[in-house]
Amino acid sequence: MTTNTASHPPELLQAVAALPALPGVYRYFAADGGLLYVGKARDLKRRVSSYFQKNHDGTRIGHMVGKIVRLETTVVRSEAEALLLENNLIKTLHPRYNILFRDDKSYPYLRLSAGEWPRISYYRGAVEKKHQYFGPYPSAWAVKEAVQLLQKVFRLRTCEDSVFNHRSRPCLLYQIKRCSGPCVDLISPADYATDVRQAAAFLRGDSPTVLTELETRMLAHAERLEFERAAEVRNQISALSQVWQQQAMDNTGDQDVDILAVQVQGGRACVNLAMVRGGRHLGDRAYFPAQVEDGATLANLDTPPVPVAQRVLEAFMAQHYTQSAPPPVLVLGAPVDAALLALLGEQSGMKLHPVFHPREHRRSWLEMAQHNASLQLARLLAEEGSQQARTRALAQALDLPDDALEQLRIECFDISHTAGEATVASCVVFEGHKMQSAQYRRYNIDGITPGDDYAAMRQVLQRRYGKLAQADTTAGAGARWPDVVLIDGGQGQVNVAREVFEALGLGLERLVGVEKGEGRKVGLEELVFADGRDKVYLGADSAALMLVAQIRDEAHRFAITGMRARRAQARTGGSRLEDIAGIGPKKRARLLQRFGSVRGVANASVADLCSIEGISSELAEAIYRALH
């Protein structure tokens, strides 16, 4: 049975009929220009045509197909290229009907720098070939734990080059035996290079070889009657052996493995990724797709329906492994399409070995990952249920309709300064039952009497909503107005806000102040309204008050961190040394070593600055001008 194509524009149907039988990516658009869906296909003509040749019986696919008015396609050379392009578009364009994992942060690595005295450090960013990288690690905590271990066992340096190059005596880390003191030549380059090589071997999972080498070194020192050095190596062996034995996933024969478990419940899903690198368990991380039901039903239309868990896992693998190279072994909690594994292997240049029904230690790994996925999903559902209850309680307290709480938008303002210095106003946004940090804004407040909080609030509201009101009158209702504007303050601040809104011709019903209670005790706050309504006391245990406090505290935190940064910048002359043309790392280190701090540099005269090696009179004058 064919679907009714009369509702689709003729241009769309003509474009579908003219598609080539080649691999590529297709994009569906709605009438308002919004992107509905991004997909890949081995055969564009066959895949796209299937959407318009079948009856979808009012399913979500049917709803989506009914909204399509325009189609765009990109032809590529292979299905692997299509996979890469598809997931790049999904991550950048956020189509409505795709399963989207929003945690796009790059994974952290442990880096061993190049040079005579390599440094171990936490690293996140582009990889340079001259350095050695180990990982990726699932969290910053896992990297820092590995760094601490290497400090304890191999005593490698962690200090910045600018510090390392200007030391005249060893630091505290040398005193507590966490560094071998290469900065002041307390270890020879050859011995340090040996420690670096053994540390790298340990990170690659070759702990037995490292232990054997350390035992050989210890015996050699003992034979030469160097008992103190032999004792140091003995301590290294003891620390390394203890860590090696404590690792539950060590000594299994597996070096690099990813374990992926998926759980689906209550319309939400969780993918838990556990990592084993170099035979060591590095920890795990939970991922939650932004939506499940919409994307999960968009299976391949010419095959039987695919279980939701499989669709979620396939979406995660496609998005994750097109950005990070997969390890050779994948232990999976649900079967995935063999074609997807082949595409990922083709893209990464290695043959992937999937394990769907693991045994022995791999089975224990998967059970652990599945348990963690269940716990993380239960926590998410509990938090979301609690947050939605808070949103509903606040809507009821403010007499707002509770039939569209997902769209409820609250903006909250706060003012922060230190005795009138460096005044900063913050605006934080709550929408979709959570804080939207990407939409936060700070405003530097100038041109007012220092310490005048009312004038500061007037200025930030005029700047925030003056442009929004003007955009509404000139370009229609395209701007997103808040449903509630929270003011962290009592009747005085609300009166100022009312004056601004009246001048802009805005309604007062959305203006709400949060007034401190008696003795400024937490839980006694009252809501103050600009439109003349009586004050409302929510109650210390009220879910609505918990949400108000959460939003208000976030506005306060965001304002005070901005104020401190502005104050610090003002007190150091408004500029950093590295912002001055002609000041590189070496000259900056020399200046700080001589004068102690940026403030000390700012207090120095031009003549004092000229006394530093490499600082000419012209550069000294430039530094003086920049810091005054």
How would DSSP label each residue in 219-242?
HHHHHTT-HHHHHHHHHHHHHHHH
Q: Which of 59, 93, 127 is the last residue of a domain?
A: 93
Question: What is the C-alpha to C-alpha distance for residues 280 and 145, in angstroms, rounded to an integer?
Answer: 12
In this structure, the answer to whether residues 580 and 565 fall within a common structural domain is no
Q: What is the pLDDT of residue 431?
A: 92
| Tens-digit pLDDT profile for residues 279-321 | 777 778 888 887 665 443 444 454 556 788 888 898 888 888 8
Q: What is the three-class DSSP state of 480?
A: coil
In this structure, the answer to whether residues 488 and 585 fall within a common structural domain is no
Is omega for the bond preceding 136 within 30 degrees of 0, making it cis?
yes
In this structure, the answer to whether residues 318 and 414 fall within a common structural domain is no
Q: What is the pLDDT of residue 251?
A: 46
Q: What is the pLDDT of residue 381?
A: 82
| 554 phi, psi to nearest 5 deg | -70, -40
In this structure, the answer to whether residues 557 and 422 fall within a common structural domain is yes
In a domain, 100, yes or no: no
In this structure, the answer to whether residues 448 and 465 fall within a common structural domain is yes
In this structure, the answer to whether residues 368 and 450 fall within a common structural domain is no
Q: Where residue 323 sits, what CATH number does that domain have?
A: 3.30.420.340
End-to-end CA distance of the chain: give it in Å, rounded. Answer: 79
Q: Which of 64, 93, 122 is the last residue of a domain?
A: 93
Question: What is the C-alpha to C-alpha distance for residues 225 and 545, in angstroms, rounded to an integer?
Answer: 72
Q: Which of 522, 549, 570 is the last residue of a domain?
A: 570
Domain extent at residue 330:
257-377
In this structure, the answer to whether residues 465 and 598 fall within a common structural domain is no
Spans in the chain with pLDDT lower than 70: 1-6, 54-60, 102-106, 205-207, 239-254, 291-305, 471-479, 518-523, 568-579
In this structure, the answer to whether residues 548 and 505 fall within a common structural domain is yes
Indicate the helix (H) or strand (E) that contains 286: strand 280-287
In this structure, the answer to whether residues 478 and 559 fall within a common structural domain is yes
Q: What is the pLDDT of residue 276?
A: 84
Those residues whose C-beta lies under 8 Å from the C-beta of residue 427, and which sit 6 or more positions away, are 411, 412, 413, 440, 441, 442, 443, 460, 464, 555
User: Hey, what are 582's tokens?
Assistant: 């002609």
Q: What is the pLDDT of residue 535?
A: 85
In this structure, the answer to whether residues 369 and 448 fall within a common structural domain is no
In this structure, the answer to whether residues 434 and 420 fall within a common structural domain is yes
Q: What is the pLDDT of residue 332?
A: 93
Q: What is the pLDDT of residue 426?
A: 94
Domain count, the chain: 4
Q: What is the pLDDT of residue 237?
A: 73
Q: What is the pLDDT of residue 295?
A: 42
Q: Where residue 69 sits, what CATH number does that domain have?
A: 3.40.1440.10
User: Hey, what are 541's tokens?
Assistant: 């245990």
Q: Where residue 607 sits, what CATH number does that domain have?
A: 1.10.150.20
The percentage of residues in the chain with a pLDDT greater than 90, rounded to a whole number, is 16
Those residues whose C-beta lies under 8 Å from the C-beta of residue 65, and which sit 6 or more positions away, are 3, 51, 52, 56
For the chain, helix, strand, coil in percent to 5 are 45, 15, 35
In this structure, the answer to whether residues 475 and 551 fall within a common structural domain is yes
User: Hey, what are 616's tokens?
Assistant: 């000419």
